[in-house]
Homo-oligomer: A and B are copies of this chain.
Amino acid sequence: MSTQPAHPALLIPGPIEFDDAVLQSMGHFSESHVGPGFISVFGDTLSQLRKLFQTTDPASQPFVISGSGTLGWDLVSANLVEAGDDVLVLQSGYFSDGFADCLTTYGAIVTQVKAAPGSRPQLDEVEKALSAKNYKLLTVTHVDTSTGVLSELKKLSELVHKVSPDTLIVVDGVCSVACEEIAFDDWKLDGVVTASQKAIGCPAGLSISMFSGRAIERSQTRKTPPSSYFASMKNWTPIMKNYEAKKASYFATPSPQLVRALHTALTQILDKPLAERFARHREASDRIKKAVAELGLQQVAANPDDQAHGMTAMYLPESVKPTDILPILGKKGVVFAGGIHKEIASRYIRFGHMGVSVLDPSRNDIDKALTALKEALAECGHSKA
């Protein structure tokens, strides 16, 4: 049983529920950011990330920086592209729009392959776009938190490497890392940016990323200096290398408490085979999606092949508004999220199912949520429930 005080089950697509041991690490006594105890933990944490991302290439470089997931976009935009560079953004919702805005802020010329809400660009459309122009970088949102649409990274990367081999492939993995498989080396990815508070299961406050040797080289051979100071790979790369080599190093003060919590979370993740973790997220997702269908609700992600396994975005019956049902769910001890995709926001809600809520058998979060959803729909007058 959890030692946390009774509280509603947080089942939004991040932040998620956290394990007791992770929260206990958050309250670690103060220690120096350049002292041997913290250096060792931070170094191990960076090495653990290599395992989570399934990369053994020594040229790959993990980064853990105080910030939110959004900071990862700046890291990509300020280091891997220069003003005037063409970037292809695969649009699958609110968050790919955000990535495009960030790239534009740093001077990139962004072309988007657009998709209707609930779908994603198809490979033939991407191929056509890549053939039309010489793109320095392509970005794809692995799971768009606004819609629950899942992108197919392996085939996409094969296509990019075939059609436009010099284009770097960068993945926004904020809502996918640690619940969807990512084989960084095998799939020849150049960057994955994510955050701590979703499937990794550590409180918010850390930007976490992995870049390929090819991406690091791109950042080092650019004609102009990095266009950010705090998000400069040039400033951070030696720091990360030093910590991983267990040597003191300083650019900006990391958060010992957050890094200790991340270390605890990653230790728990790596304690079991990753394949098992992904399979259990798929099983829970299948069960949830089946239950949602039985309640007569349609998913925002229309195509079963495009549905994320760590969250479910579902349209409500026409007579039910998010502002009606979310407070009812809240009273039943379950916190879901409203919609944020601007074209459809008032018509759907989001259910996050990542981490301990799915994996910890002593919790009853998923069953509780499905029961609450059924009851809440009935209270809102939806007959099927």
Q: Which residues of A contact B (CB under 8 A)?
A: 4-5, 7, 10, 12, 14-18, 23-24, 26-35, 66-71, 73-74, 77-78, 101-102, 105-106, 195, 197, 203-205, 225-232, 250-258, 335, 337, 340
When C-beta atoms are compared, the residue in chain B nearest to A330 turns out to be: B35
Chain B contacts of A74 at CB under 8 A?
A: 228-231
- Known contacts A105-B228, A204-B253, A252-B68, A4 near B32 by CB under 8 Å: no
Shortest distance from the beta carbon of A37 to any chain B beta carbon, whole Å: 9
- Known contacts A35-B335, A105-B229, A18 near B30 by CB under 8 Å: yes
- Known contacts A29-B23, A30-B16, A31-B10, A67 near B253 by CB under 8 Å: no
Could you tell me the distance between the alpha carbons of A258 and B228 in the complex, rounded to whole angstroms?
A: 25
Indicate which residue in B24, B32, B257 contacts A335 across the interface (CB closer than 8 Å).
B32
Chain B contacts of A251 at CB under 8 A?
A: 70
B73 engages A257 (CB within 8 Å) = no
A204 engages B33 (CB within 8 Å) = yes
Could you tell me the distance between the alpha carbons of A162 and B81 in the complex, rounded to whole angstroms?
A: 43
B23 engages A226 (CB within 8 Å) = no
| A to B CB contacts below 8 Å, 5 in the list | A23-B27, A34-B337, A197-B255, A204-B258, A205-B258
B69 engages A253 (CB within 8 Å) = yes
- Known contacts A204-B255, A253-B68, A17 near B30 by CB under 8 Å: yes
A105 engages B227 (CB within 8 Å) = yes
Could you tell me the distance between the alpha carbons of A32 and B350 in the complex, rounded to whole angstroms?
A: 13
Chain B contacts of A105 at CB under 8 A?
A: 225-229, 232
Chain B contacts of A30 at CB under 8 A?
A: 7, 10, 15-18, 203
Chain B contacts of A228 at CB under 8 A?
A: 74, 78, 105, 228, 231
Chain B contacts of A101 at CB under 8 A?
A: 229
When C-beta atoms are compared, the residue in chain B nearest to A234 turns out to be: B105
B340 engages A250 (CB within 8 Å) = yes
When C-beta atoms are compared, the residue in chain B nearest to A255 turns out to be: B205
Could you tell me the distance between the alpha carbons of A231 and B73 in the complex, rounded to whole angstroms?
A: 12
Chain B contacts of A23 at CB under 8 A?
A: 27-29, 257
- Known contacts A77-B229, A229-B73, A256-B203, A29 near B15 by CB under 8 Å: no
A253 engages B27 (CB within 8 Å) = no
Could you tell me the distance between the alpha carbons of A66 and B67 in the complex, rounded to whole angstroms?
A: 4
B102 engages A257 (CB within 8 Å) = no
Chain B contacts of A4 at CB under 8 A?
A: 29
When C-beta atoms are compared, the residue in chain B nearest to A101 turns out to be: B229
- Known contacts A15-B32, A203-B30, A205-B258, A106 near B229 by CB under 8 Å: yes
B29 engages A68 (CB within 8 Å) = no
Shortest distance from the beta carbon of A74 to any chain B beta carbon, whole Å: 5
When C-beta atoms are compared, the residue in chain B nearest to A195 turns out to be: B253
Chain B contacts of A24 at CB under 8 A?
A: 27
A67 engages B67 (CB within 8 Å) = yes
Chain B contacts of A205 at CB under 8 A?
A: 66, 205, 255, 257-258
Please name the 3 residue pairs, one residue from A and one from B, whose CB atoms are nearest each other, closest first.
A205-B255, A70-B252, A102-B229
Which among A24, A101, A252 has the greatest number of chain B C-beta atoms within 10 A? A252
Indicate which residue in B16, B26, B32 contacts A337 across the interface (CB closer than 8 Å).
B32
Could you tell me the distance between the alpha carbons of A381 and B346 in the complex, rounded to whole angstroms?
A: 74
Could you tell me the distance between the alpha carbons of A250 and B70 in the complex, rounded to whole angstroms?
A: 12
When C-beta atoms are compared, the residue in chain B nearest to A10 turns out to be: B30
